[in-house]
Amino acid sequence: MHTASDKIKHETVKKWVSDYSDKLYTWALGKTSSKEIAEDLVQETFLSAYAAFDKFENKSSAKTWLFSILNNKIIDHYRNKSNKHSSLDQLSENQANRFTNTLFNEDGNWELNEQGNVWGNETHLLDNLEFNNTLKYCMGTLPAKWMSAITSKYLFEKEAKEICQELEITTTNYWQVMHRAKLLLKKCIEKHWK
């Protein structure tokens, strides 16, 4: 593997900072709504890029590469955020599947004790601090693959097709993942909030 000289590395990354830092920062700010966090993430992105420079090899454009590093750091940020209280609570996919299966009886219909759950008025909930904190906690219980699908859809606003390519799953499997993720979140919220 060809090792770029330190001078070339330094000059190249310095140019990347000059060319792309503002774009990366704007993106990160939009995704985290925090100046401090966005700045940290962008800084970490360039430092990671610098450290991994030899692996870059111009396979994609520098901009694409930097954005993909940044997006992974954003995902990690949200994962760490929701796991602050509960790093032990993340379920494996098997556990999560077993849990969501318990919601339905053998005919595939809602178990009787699942049928009565009615939530309140939506606008009140979206502004309710406790509801949102509960949601945050519950996101931490999602298995990694389900969390990926959720962040790809709601954070990066990707289309189903793109998410399928990313996760290397069929569209049918994608709907199943989203379905089960929502079921898990719903049950978790009902358990911890009301």
Binding mask 156-185 for other proteins (x = CB under 8 A): ----x--------------xx-xx--xx-x
When asked if residue 125 is in the footprint of other proteins (CB under 8 A), the reply is yes
Q: Which residues of 153-182 are buried (b: 16+ CB within 10 A; e: fewer)?
A: beeeebeeeebbeebebeeeebeebbebbe
Annotate 114-158 with three-state secondary structure.
HCCCCCCCHHHHHCCHHHHHHHHHHHCCCCHHHHHHHHHHHHCCC
137 forms part of the interface with other proteins (CB under 8 A): no
- Smallest distance from the beta carbon of 29 to other proteins, in angstroms? 6
From CA 144, how far away is CA 102, in angstroms rounded? 21
The count of residues interacting with other proteins (CB under 8 A) is 53
CA-CA distance, 172 to 123, in Å (whole number)?
Answer: 31
Select the residue interacting with other proteins from 73, 136, 145, 192 (CB under 8 A): 136
Selected from 2, 5, 30, 129, the binder of other proteins by CB under 8 A is 30
In DSSP terms, 104 is beta-bridged to 110
Does residue 104 sit in helix, strand or coil? strand
Q: Which positions lie near other proteins, rule CB under 8 A?
A: 10, 13-14, 17-18, 21-23, 25-26, 29-31, 33, 39, 42-43, 46-47, 50, 78, 104, 107-110, 114-115, 117-119, 122, 125-126, 131-132, 135-136, 139, 150-151, 154-155, 160, 175-176, 178-179, 182-183, 185-186, 189
